């Protein structure tokens, strides 16, 4: 089948993409300046810096470092953290990754739901409603995540006192670890209190990130809807006596397909937002991990986390492309 060939090629294309991303990370982390000095600060004693450099493997010639770096990554060796715990970096990342995944998936759902709802309404109804939809898309795009998050904390956490302002669960209600995704783990454990606690902690961060990202979907869907509704096949549907509700469904389907191609890129923005959201809500994910490890001068951990982000982004983009290929019959492989 042609489709399978396309998928295979798309999967193989990940390798050069990854190579570019990993090289960029390498260049940035090793060639712009001295990473250890950058993290420790200028005032550290020279012998401390020297031993840290030694530990991070920064004393070899650059090309050797590059080969080591790629070799280690492709064999799945992310090194050992240099501060606090001295554990394998990948273990530390895997501790934190589920929290980021939980937040981003929840925020993604929120943003797509809100974006689709508003965008479709604006494109279908036009008029005054459309104007407010357009304004919504611009304002939500301009929202600054920490500020919006703090506003929500202030309203729901400080004044109304109905939702927690940080963390993933109340003390004593953290579920046993199966997947690391609290909402899921509490369900697996079959503990309702734990589930409610983790859900309550998820609401504000997911809303913050989700609403800020929804504007892009709103805008895209609105424009696509208007575009599609003006096309002749919609008039043809009307000429066939098809009911408005069915025409709406057809036009949503058509308007949604191009949005899918955007989702891969949108995912990078989602992760950027996740770093800020995690910091705002003390959410123990990869974003806060990077910020912490920079403070500990933990070079290998920072590098590992950045590389992990790169791999994650590359894989998500492939998945989105493959889903797209399945959904759009017109795609030429």
| Contacts of the segment 316-320: beta carbons below 8 A, 24+ positions apart | 316/264, 316/267, 317/17, 317/264, 317/265, 317/267, 318/10, 318/11, 318/13, 318/14, 320/260, 320/261, 320/263, 320/264, 320/267
Is residue 323 near other proteins by the rule CB under 8 A? no
Angle ∠(131,267,113) on CA atoms, nearest 5: 45
Is residue 325 near other proteins by the rule CB under 8 A? no
Is residue 254 near other proteins by the rule CB under 8 A? yes
Residue ranges of alpha helices (H) inside the chain are: 2-12, 14-26, 35-40, 46-56, 62-74, 89-125, 127-142, 145-152, 182-189, 192-229, 232-239, 244-280, 286-295, 299-327
Token look-up 């797509």 returns 112
Stretch that binds other proteins, among 1-9, 107-115, 179-187, 325-333 (CB under 8 A): 325-333
Stretch that binds other proteins, among 62-70, 80-88, 138-146, 192-200 (CB under 8 A): 138-146
Is residue 10 near other proteins by the rule CB under 8 A? no
Q: Which residues of 245-279 are buried (b: 16+ CB within 10 A; e: fewer)?
A: eebeeebbebbbbbbeeebbebbeebbebbbbbbb
Is residue 16 near other proteins by the rule CB under 8 A? yes
Please report how many Cα atoms fall inside a 13 Å half-sphere around the Cα of residue 19, on the Cβ side.
7
Is residue 242 near other proteins by the rule CB under 8 A? yes
Figure out which of the listed residues 3, 91, 253, 323 binds other proteins, where binding follows CB under 8 A: 253
Q: Which of residues 286-305 bind other proteins (CB under 8 A)?
A: 290-291, 294, 302
Q: Which residues of 190-200 are buried (b: 16+ CB within 10 A; e: fewer)?
A: ebeebbebbbb
Q: Which is nearer to other proteins, 143 or 325 (CB)?
A: 143
Q: Could you tell me the smallest distance in angstroms from the CB atom of residue 168 to other proteins?
A: 18
Q: Which is nearer to other proteins, 57 or 146 (CB)?
A: 146
Figure out which of the listed residues 57, 88, 157, 167 binds other proteins, where binding follows CB under 8 A: 157
Asked if 320 and 266 touch (Cβ cutoff 8 Å), the reply is no
Figure out which of the listed residues 95, 170, 227, 292 binds other proteins, where binding follows CB under 8 A: 227
Is residue 277 near other proteins by the rule CB under 8 A? no
Rounded-to-integer distance, Cα 38 and Cα 121, Å: 50
Figure out which of the listed residues 306, 319, 322, 325 binds other proteins, where binding follows CB under 8 A: 306
Q: Which of residues 21-40 bind other proteins (CB under 8 A)?
A: 21, 24-25, 28-29, 32-33, 35, 38-39
Site size for other proteins (CB under 8 A): 76
Q: Which is nearer to other proteins, 82 or 194 (CB)?
A: 82
Is residue 206 near other proteins by the rule CB under 8 A? no
Q: Could you tell me the smallest distance in angstroms from the CB atom of residue 95 to other proteins?
A: 19
Token look-up 């995540």 returns 145
Figure out which of the listed residues 250, 261, 296, 322 binds other proteins, where binding follows CB under 8 A: 250
Neighbours of 12 (CB within 10 A): 10
Is residue 171 near other proteins by the rule CB under 8 A? no
């Amino acid at each position: 089948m042609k489709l399978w060939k396309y998928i295979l090629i798309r999967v193989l294309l990940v390798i050069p993409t990854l190579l570019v991303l990993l090289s960029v990370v390498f260049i940035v982390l090793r060639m712009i300046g001295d990473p250890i000095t950058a993290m420790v600060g200028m005032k550290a004693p020279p012998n401390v810096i020297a031993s840290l450099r030694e530990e991070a493997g920064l004393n070899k010639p650059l090309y050797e470092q590059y080969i080591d770096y790629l070799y280690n990554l492709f064999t799945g060796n992310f090194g050992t953290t240099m501060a606090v715990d001295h554990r394998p970096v990948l273990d530390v990342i895997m501790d934190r990754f589920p929290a980021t995944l939980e937040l981003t998936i929840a925020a993604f759902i929120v943003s797509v739901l809100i974006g689709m709802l508003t965008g479709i309404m604006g494109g279908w109804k036009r008029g005054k409603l459309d104007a407010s939809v357009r304004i919504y898309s611009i304002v939500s795009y301009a929202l600054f995540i920490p500020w919006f998050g703090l506003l929500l904390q202030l309203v729901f956490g400080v004044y109304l006192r109905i939702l927690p302002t940080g963390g993933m669960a109340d003390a004593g209600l953290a579920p046993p670890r199966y997947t690391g995704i609290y909402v899921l783990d509490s369900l697996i454990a079959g503990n309702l209190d734990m589930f409610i606690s983790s859900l309550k902690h998820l609401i504000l961060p997911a809303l913050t990130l989700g609403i800020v990202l929804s504007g892009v979907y709103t805008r895209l869907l609105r424009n696509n809807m208007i575009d599609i509704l003006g096309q002749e096949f919609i008039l043809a549907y009307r000429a066939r006596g098809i009911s408005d509700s069915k025409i709406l469904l057809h036009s949503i389907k058509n308007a949604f397909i191009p949005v899918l191609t955007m989702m891969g890129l949108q995912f990078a923005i989602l992760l950027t937002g996740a770093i800020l959201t995690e910091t705002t809500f003390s959410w123990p994910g990869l974003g806060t991990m990077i910020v912490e490890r920079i403070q500990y001068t933990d070079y290998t951990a920072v590098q590992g986390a950045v590389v992990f982000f790169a791999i994650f982004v590359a894989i998500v983009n492939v998945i989105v492309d493959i889903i797209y290929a399945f959904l759009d019959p017109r795609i030429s492989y």
